[in-house]
Chain A
Amino acid sequence: MSGHESTYVPKTGVEKWLDTRLPIVRFGADYLSLPTPKNLNYWYTFGAILTICLVTQIATGIFLAMHYQPNTAMAFASVERIMRDVNGGWLIRYVHANGASMFFVAVYIHMLRGLYYGSYKAPREMIWILGCVIFFLMISTAFLGYVLPWGQMSYWGAEVITNLIGAIPMIGEPVLIWLRGGPAIDNATLNRFFSLHYLLPFVIFGVVVLHLWALHTAGQNNPVGILIPKEREAKDTIPFHPYYTVKDGFALLVFLMMFAVFVFFMPNALGHADNYIPANPLQTPAHIVPEWYMLPFYAILRAIPDKFGGVVAMFGSIGVLFILPWLDTSKVRSMRYRPTMKIFFLIFVVVGLILGWCGGQLPDAQVVPGMPSFTLIDGQLNSYLWLTRLATLYYFAFFFVIMPFVGLKETPLKIPASISEPVLSGPLAMSGAVPADAEKKG
């Protein structure tokens, strides 16, 4: 796919003139005619969906910024003014607020898809790493944005999260004061958070461009996980347009319908009522929880009894994703042909959901109400504290133990020689396929 030759022929005089000066039409045409594996399923449509999510967030955000006041005395009221008085302001803000959640729904599916089909393995490590950079920037941007309405959850979320940095030994305290611009979260903090919240989406946009560049250099992965040999390119690929523009477009429509259900029928279902109370630096809400998409990481933070240890574990849970391509020892990309790993993967998905659930609960609350248990070290075994710890243990074990070990020990199924083979010949003929050797095939 990297050696894709341009088939664009400028037709009109203007196109010819432009093509020798700035071949931007050629660039777009080549993009649309890009040979793409013909077996991509609907899990592969989330890249396009994410692009639309980013554009939606930037577009709505620009218009919200025209009405928002980044000042502690006015921020909350200005958001309420957007909701009540600005023409269509309620719609723009609800799209922006729910859009963040939709963005994370899509990105989690997109990442799990990459994990399942081995899209991070050679030669696609850079695609994956840039994706991790985007994910980290997304989390940062979402956190900064959540502070802006200056409600109770905004303020106390900012307090708790910035305090994480204060946990770093030695430099923590000065860095914390530098970051906040004062001894406590205040106007200086709100101002800089607004500035950065406006900046980071454009940084994300830039990294997305790099992400796509890497994608088109290394070539698309596909559910079978094999590289398409040059001689089979004509048979196993189809042009991106119209085949995948239509498939992505259909998936996008379904996704937007779900998005619209949230915006129009349950716009506050994913938020917290406490954030409609103006920030009060002298009163902490009884139960501080981050937005749902941060809950698994928040759970990991709380699982560790040591303050700095918790911070390290939380950042480590995201950091480990960056080195994932080197933790997986398997030569087979797609888990379709890795029956053992597939089971561990499904457990991993469930554990991720459990971590998310735990992150929203009080640590001391009982998981099974009324079930007697005993105290293990520093808490009841039948508590979210211990459920979180067990889930955290699996989360890290999945990357550091299961991935390297299973990759060496398992016996993968036979990989088809081409992506057409399993479709054309059926399961019986599959047994005659060449033995699994992903490296040789690509």
Chain B
Amino acid sequence: MAESVVTNEHPEGDATRRDFIHIAAGAAAVGAGVMMVWPLVNSMNPAADTLALSTVEFDTSKVAEGMQIVITWQGKPVFVRNRTAAELTRVIADNDASDLKERQTDQERTKVGHEPMLIVIGSCTHLGCIPTFGSGDYGGWFCPCHGSHYDASGRIRKGPAPKNLVVPNYEFTAGSTIRIG
């Protein structure tokens, strides 16, 4: 039907005003579609109240030597471990061990003046299970799910996990109190 109204005065393959309108209208429709989808997709991102739970405070003096307390931060378990002198000696001696997958010294994973206190997120960097302390080959954690061994510094030594247990952002605010996040 269009042929009877519109005469094509342009040679074959040349862009016409009609082509321009087709492309422009199509592009506008696609753009509008994307703009419509984006709020839907974005609604699945963490909501404001979820993000608001992003810091937690904890008094580490409650953790006696050789003890571990698990607190939650952003729904994830955080290990606060007060390591013994023997454990500390062992992890520092292992700073140069050849089997470290992600090379870090113990000092890099703790705060100056609070060396025995190790604060790590308690989920295995493999697939997120919670490792248990004391059953691995390296005097640290062992993940029961797929057999990852961590030392007492939370560094991955053996097994499928790719990274060391994550040290969250935290600081000592007053004396022995820490704020995570």
Asked if A363 contacts B46 (CB within 8 A), the reply is no
Return the contact of A363 from the options B50, B123, B129, B147 (Cβ within 8 A). Answer: B147
Q: How near does chain A come to B75, taking the closest CB pair, in angstroms?
A: 3
Q: How far apart are the CA atoms of A39 and B50 in the complex, in Å?
A: 60
Which chain B residues lie closer than 8 Å to A184 at the CB level? 74-76
Nearest Cβ distance between residue B139 and chain A, in whole angstroms? 19
Known contacts A160-B128, A302-B146, A364-B147; is A281 also within 8 Å of B44 by CB?
no
Tell me the smallest distance from the CB of A408 to a CB of chain B, in Å. 38
Knowing A181-B47, A182-B75, A184-B74 are in contact, say whether A307-B126 is a contact too (CB < 8 A): yes
How many residues in B have their beta carbons less than 8 Å from beta carbons of A? 25
Count of A-B contacts judged by CB separation below 8 Å: 77
Q: Does A178 reach chain B (CB closer than 8 Å)?
A: yes
Residue A287 at the chain B interface, CB threshold 8 Å? yes
Residue of B nearest to A302 (CB): B146
Is there contact, CB below 8 Å, between A282 and B126?
no
CB-based contact B127/A182 at 8 Å: no
Tell me how many residues of A have a C-beta within 8 Å of chain B: 32
Interfacial chain A residues near B126, Cβ < 8 Å: 163, 307
| B72 contacts chain A at the CB level, 8 A cutoff | yes
A157 CA to B64 CA, complexed, in Å: 34
Q: A133: shortest Cβ distance to chain B, in Å?
A: 21
Residues of A within 8 A of B161 (CB): 307
Q: Which residue on chain B has the smallest CB distance to residue A183?
A: B74
Which A residues touch B77, using CB under 8 A?
Answer: 281-282
Given known contacts A159-B127, A177-B45, A181-B47, what 12 new A-B pairs fall within 8 Å (CB)? A156-B129, A159-B128, A159-B129, A163-B128, A177-B46, A181-B50, A281-B72, A281-B77, A282-B70, A282-B130, A284-B145, A302-B160
Which 9 A-B pairs give the minimum distances between C-beta atoms?
A: A184-B75, A183-B74, A284-B129, A160-B127, A163-B127, A163-B128, A182-B50, A284-B130, A159-B128
Please list the residues of chain B having a beta carbon within 8 angstroms of any beta carbon in chain A. 41, 44-47, 50, 70, 72, 74-77, 123, 126-130, 144-147, 160-162
A to B CB contacts below 8 Å, 11 in the list: A163-B128, A164-B127, A178-B45, A181-B46, A181-B47, A183-B74, A183-B75, A186-B50, A305-B160, A362-B147, A363-B146
